[in-house]
Structure 1
Amino acid sequence: WYVGEKCLAPCLENGKLQEGTISSIEKDKNGKSFAIVSFLESEERKILITKLCRVKASRGPWKNLIFDDGDLEKPYFPDRNLPSPAVAFKLSDNGDFIPYTINRYLRDYQREGAQFLYGHYANKRGCILGDDMGLGKTIQVISFLAAVLHKKGTREDIENNMPEFLLRTMKKESNNTITSVCFQTFLIVAPLSVLYNWKDELDTWGYFKVSVLHGSKKDDDLSRIKQGKCEVALTTYEILRLYLDEFNSVEWSAVIVDEAHRIKNPKAQVTQTMKSLKCNVRIGLTGTILQNNMKELWCVMDWAVPGLLGSRVHFKKKFSDPVEHGQRHTATKRELATGRKAMVKLARKMSGWFLRRTKALISDQLPKKEDRMVYCSLTEFQKAVYQAVLDTEDVNLVLRAGEPCSCNSSRKRKNCCYK
């Protein structure tokens, strides 16, 4: 549920359902969710969320031919326990919220991550999301995209994603104003190994208009993007490098870079390409922003937020050198103290633009680990291969290494003639 949505709520007098509008959503001290519902008689009542029912939308004849009666919600995981109530999560007063279809599966730290991304996007600034691997950076990005693209995760998204000729037909048969123009287009750059995983996740978690700019159809997809028919474009580092001019002909709302630690060398082609891409809002995703030295940290941050840490020479003098000198085993007490101060100052300077949560930090929010051991018998082919390996001379030497040597020296084979 979300603020402004129509609902059916039970009447106090007779228990019959009557239509109202949700004016706010709140929780009590026990964690139960309530909605403040406004009715036609200007009356407001506080009602338990679980007692609300959805208002069935009026359906024209064209709808009956295409859709089932039920809403086609995305995502939907019937076997997964819901960590949160099925209510929308408000990101701003401008009407941007994470739809309830997604929010019900999010954990608190993931909402915080989506809020972090949204805050920087709304202020036209870049940032880095540096959570540990496995904490759902992809899902946090999708939650953010769903909010800024005003997705509902329901039938409404399906209708809005229809081809223009069908939307025009629908508009004639119903008095509603329907538009298919995408005013915002986001570019996601990822390694080829995870490119189609992004496509799968976007399809799982919502109804997004996605184009994969890779392979023989990329020219057609670029044309669709320029016409405003795409919301999210996926491509690789290599394709972006080869067709940079064409990518720069598109006005991107934001660029989101997976495995942003690849932008670690100022002289590398990948770094120069990413810095040449015309887009003010640059969002990086990485679980290992610092791999070898602090100069790599500067390079990634300078791509996302140019000038935040000063020039490379300034960063080396104020942060990199003091910290590295303080980490030497021969460091003096003065160098240790200077290094610690520089690290604290650097962390404070980055705190507003770099968000990192480790698994240890949010262990109370993570589900318990569940191990399942499944024993599988070898197939006939696998048995034959396994036996062939056992019959090799090298394996035979290992298996018989502890036996007495055949030369009757009384020593073991591995210590005598079969070393």
Structure 2
Amino acid sequence: MKVSTTQPFQIIYSILNHEYLGYLFEAFVVQLDDKGELTLLNQNVSIKNISEFAHGLDPQDLKLVKLIDSLQSENIYKKFVGTKKRTVVDFFLKVYDPQKGEKGLQELIATYIEKIKAEMLPLLLGKKLFIMGGDGNPIWQSIEVLPEKATVLFHFMRNSDNTHYFPTIKYEGQKVDFQYKNAFIVCDEPAWIIVENKLYHFAKEVDGKKLRPFFQKKFILIPKNLEEDYYRKFVSSIISMFDVHAKGFEIRTEAYQGVPILNVSEQKVLQSSLFENQSTNNIEDEDIALNIHLAFQYGKYTFRFDSFSTEVNVSMEKKGDDYVFHRVRRDLDFEKSTLLLLNSLGLDLKNGRMLLPKSDAFAWIQKNYASLTEKGFLIEQNVQDDGKKYFLGYSNIEVNITEGNDWFDIHAIVHFGEFEIPFLKLRNLILHKKREFTLPNGEIAVIPEIWFTQYSELFAFIEQHTEREGFILKKHHLSLVQDLQSESLATAVLSRKLEKLRDFEEIQSYHLPKGFKGSLRPYQKAGYDWMRFLNDYHFGGCLADDMGLGKTVQTLTLLQSQKEQEIPQPSLLILPTSLIYNWEMEARKFTPELKILTYTGTYRDKNIEHFDQYDVVITTYGIVRIDIDLLKNYRFNYVILDESQAIKNPASYITKAVMQLNTRNRLVLTGTPLENSTMDLWSQMTFINPGLLGSQHFFRNEFQVPIEKKGDDAKMQRLYSIIKPFMLRRHKSQVATELPPKIESIHYAQMTDQQEKEYEEAKSYFRNLILEHIEEAGMAMSQMVVLQGLTKLRQLANHPKMTDGTYEGDSGKLQDVLEKLDSILEEGHKVLIFSQFVKHLDLFREELDKANRVYAYLDGSTHDRQAQVEKFQHNEDVRIFLISLKAGGLGLNLTAADYVFILDPWWNPAIEAQAIDRAHRIGQVNTVFTYKFITKNTVEEKILALQQSKQRLANELITTEESFVKSLTKDDVLALLE
């Protein structure tokens, strides 16, 4: 019978008992009469015809029909039928044959059906449900689908002979009488049961198998002889999942703060099964991995974490004839948040565990040990059968580097927990790629993998001191020292002068020699200053300017300066034969006072004592190769190689020859320092600074192979960092004849009344506190409190909100800066805004965000530094760049800006100057205007005066607040706090 879709109808669901598959459901549409009641006219609904009735169904109905359809006999057959073709009837007859049935397949089908029903039954809430009659009537018996969840209480009654066990069910507080009521279970997991035409479902997802035995019996009896085993396996499980009422034994509910535990144990694995997507090149025992398990300790109880962890764990304790069940509640939210934390730290646990290559595991533990222990983690390990135990504590290297006259002194301490390991032992282990060694307590220490990367160059380049214990590093390894320092891998005490070498634009200016005839362009003068600086430190250099930029004239200026310094030894200039005339002509033009000997030709005078009468000896590569046994016995002031790519091959005769020359200083000139291979650099750099790039073998393994064979950008950048101080390379497109002027102004801001009140109160407080501290402990012991006080006052001079988040007033400086900013932006200018304080920049960010102004931003936490620079330099809509002075005072080229705002005075004016020069540098075509904003009648104004009186210290020593404070006397402090 067809149901009319134009007349009112209702979808209903009917339960039937399938011969093999148990309780299933069917969906029907039933025609309604004039009173809206169900009639006998009905029609089965399936996925095939559901579209006809879609206008009368809701989304839940559509899902239900689809799920019901998946349980039809034909669809079960399609899903589980084997390769052999058979009919649906034959399939069920064979699979469910009482004697020869396929039990395994039956279980698979049952599991699948339970899963579908578990998904389907919640959707029946609010729907009409019936039991199908024997005649196929789908609305034979109405079933009430109860909306709320029922509860189950399990009762255990223990006496001297046995234990009685039974459940009671309650719905909305009323007991449900379900025993001997022809109750039946529609779904087992979770349980949905029908009792007296009512469909119940349960809180805590009760398993129907735990209720079914009691449909036809009052209780289950557990004999005394089976009691302990039954209690341990079954009763403990019931107590952990459900509410239990017990007589004859005790249940203690206990709550503790969870403590996360990472347990580490060794595990042998097959390489292919573990390391498919991981590099194993650096694994010492490639068949050993570490298994890391996450567990949680609650009181004296420890439970492993997995995705199926229950909120309650139960531990049974037997005392004589008595039983105590400890019901320990776990904080699953805390456990899951701990798992997320570990995932964020790079430990991607699956079900609470992870297998890692040993080196990776220890690298992770070392990197995160401090933060894990701070967060309360316990890190434990299972000791192996052979007693092998790993050291799992914190390890570190403290490297202190001090500048000496001709080298750096290296002082290093290595700690593995409480043990101090001799630096020499660690160095030898790392150089020989040994990753494990035994500590005095017998534990095996694993050298962190990252140390092999971070300190490989230091260990390769340092040398043992010849006169005393300890290590030294040649001074031309300055770049390595500075990189270790910048990456917080070492502390270094370097002269301010030496610190400047990495950026030759900051090197001091030297007077041109009086005998130099002509003028140098600005970049040529910078090149001359760079060479003079290298000369001061006896560093070799590579002048690698583009052809035509004047390498010859810069070098001649250097040689003339050497003559005027009355250096007695001549310099040897080696070049291709074709360049001899050019050098002679240039020397006559620019440095006519230089006495030059051209040492060439078949009939040259080989009496090298004649060299003493000259300032410069010019010769060729060929002559040096022939006369090396003679020339190597003479001490030159400089050996200079022009077109130095001539020695790019380390194995060539000419390379071996020039390496033997005896000279105080070395310089090479080339427009193409690297032609074919990175090994070209090794030869030239080794000539100017022997040992700079290590041995040829070290260089090949450390740089050439990774860069050329593997495209390792990090190694390429590292190589560049090492050679950068000693190679000056300018392209024609980079140099400019001169820079436009820069104009610096000081803008004085007035505090608002509320700001002044806050400032004066803080000044009075810190004045008393500091003076009291100085009187009690002296100036030297009061530097920290002085620094804290001055910093607080500087922040208040900027904006009180920097020290008090609840401050609702304004700031005079903020108002003035914003007004000045508006005016220059209206004129179309771009501006850099520097502050020492990130909090100060945050205040400006808020104001700019309110005004919907776009801007670039850079502080120490910014990862995409270059992206921010590019955004500012090339996007006309981005005209403001907020920069923390510490993060952006160096290394940035921001010539798009023609205004610079310094929001707060820095202790050292040179640092401010470096910030200004981010805009005022080669490539700038506009006048650069700088505004330094000072709050009147505050410590800022007084700092300016102190900067002048401490000018020598500021120029030579002061680079940080700490060093500035160390230079202050008591009178200075009083002046600041007036």
| Contact 2:517–2:590, Cα closer than 8 Å, also in 1 | no
Amino acid at match of 1:301: M
Higher relative strand content: 2
Amino acid at match of 1:211: L
Q: Following superposition of structure 1 onto structure 2, how do residues 224-243 of structure 1 map, counting pairs within 5 Å?
A: 224-225=610-611, 228-243=612-627
The one-character-per-residue Cα deviations of 1:377-412 (angstroms, maximum 9, x if unpaired) are xxxxxxxxxxxxxxxxxxxxxxxxxxxxxxxxxxxx
Instruction: Choose the corresponding residue for 1:142, options 536, 556, 574.
Output: 556
Residue 98 (str. 1) matches residue 471 (str. 2) = no
Instruction: Choose the corresponding residue for 1:125, options 523, 527, 539.
Output: 539
Amino acid at match of 2:667: I
Q: Following superposition of structure 1 onto structure 2, how do residues 27-38 of structure 1 map, counting pairs within 5 Å?
A: none
Separation in 1 of the partners of 2:545 and 2:737? 16
Separation in 2 of the partners of 1:201 and 1:357? 21
Per the alignment, do residues 266 and 284 of structure 1 end up closer, same or farther by CA in structure 2, a change over 3 Å counting? same
Aligned residue pairs, count: 232
Q: Following superposition of structure 1 onto structure 2, how do residues 153-232 of structure 1 map, counting pairs within 5 Å?
A: 183-206=568-591, 207-215=593-601, 218-219=604-605, 222-225=608-611, 228-232=612-616
The one-character-per-residue Cα deviations of 1:95-121 (angstroms, maximum 9, x if unpaired) are x73135647520111111111212222
The one-character-per-residue Cα deviations of 1:69-88 (angstroms, maximum 9, x if unpaired) are xxxxxxxxxxxxxxxxxxxx
TM-score (normalizing by structure 1): 0.52
Offset of residue 365 of structure 1: 5.3
Residue 291 (str. 1) matches residue 678 (str. 2) = no
Instruction: Choose the corresponding residue for 2:733, options 357, 360, 372.
Output: 360
Per the alignment, do residues 255 and 190 of structure 1 end up closer, same or farther by CA in structure 2, a change over 3 Å counting? same
Whose radius of gyration is greater, 1 or 2?
A: 2
Residue 275 (str. 1) matches residue 648 (str. 2) = no
Q: Secondary structure at the match of 1:125?
A: coil
Residue 346 (str. 1) matches residue 712 (str. 2) = no
Instruction: Choose the corresponding residue for 2:630, options 246, 252, 256.
Output: 246
| Contact 2:518–2:590, Cα closer than 8 Å, also in 1 | no
Separation in 2 of the partners of 1:219 and 1:113? 35
| Contact 1:265–1:271, Cα closer than 8 Å, also in 2 | yes
Offset of residue 126 of structure 1: 1.3
The one-character-per-residue Cα deviations of 1:238-277 (angstroms, maximum 9, x if unpaired) are 1111111222232200100001111111111110111111
Offset of residue 295 of structure 1: 1.3
Offset of residue 182 of structure 1: 6.6
Listed as ranges, the gaps of 5+ residues in structure 1 are 1-90, 152-180, 328-338, 367-419
| Contact 1:212–1:221, Cα closer than 8 Å, also in 2 | no
Separation in 2 of the partners of 1:197 and 1:104? 17
> Which is bigger in relative contact order (C-alpha 8 A, separation at least 6)?
1
Amino acid at match of 2:575: A
Amino acid at match of 2:632: N
Separation in 1 of the partners of 2:553 and 2:640? 13
Offset of residue 321 of structure 1: 1.9
Separation in 2 of the partners of 1:216 and 1:234? 15
The one-character-per-residue Cα deviations of 1:331-378 (angstroms, maximum 9, x if unpaired) are xxxxxxxx1211111111111111111111114559xxxxxxxxxxxx
Amino acid at match of 2:697: V
Offset of residue 308 of structure 1: 0.7
Residue 18 of structure 1 corresponds to which residue in structure 2? none
| Contact 2:706–2:715, Cα closer than 8 Å, also in 1 | yes
Per the alignment, do residues 221 and 190 of structure 1 end up closer, same or farther by CA in structure 2, a change over 3 Å counting? farther
The one-character-per-residue Cα deviations of 1:164-194 (angstroms, maximum 9, x if unpaired) are xxxxxxxxxxxxxxxxx97131110011000
TM-score (normalizing by structure 2): 0.23
Indicate the RMSD between aligned Cα atoms, in angstroms: 2.5
Separation in 1 of the partners of 2:520 and 2:603? 35
Per the alignment, do residues 217 and 98 of structure 1 end up closer, same or farther by CA in structure 2, a change over 3 Å counting? farther
Listed as ranges, the gaps of 5+ residues in structure 2 are 1-506, 740-978
Residue 694 of structure 2 corresponds to which residue in structure 1? 310
Amino acid at match of 1:210: I
Separation in 2 of the partners of 1:111 and 1:236? 28
Per the alignment, do residues 221 and 116 of structure 1 end up closer, same or farther by CA in structure 2, a change over 3 Å counting? farther
Separation in 2 of the partners of 1:247 and 1:147? 24
Residue 768 of structure 2 corresponds to which residue in structure 1? none
Offset of residue 299 of structure 1: 1.5
Per the alignment, do residues 221 and 134 of structure 1 end up closer, same or farther by CA in structure 2, a change over 3 Å counting? farther
Amino acid at match of 2:584: K
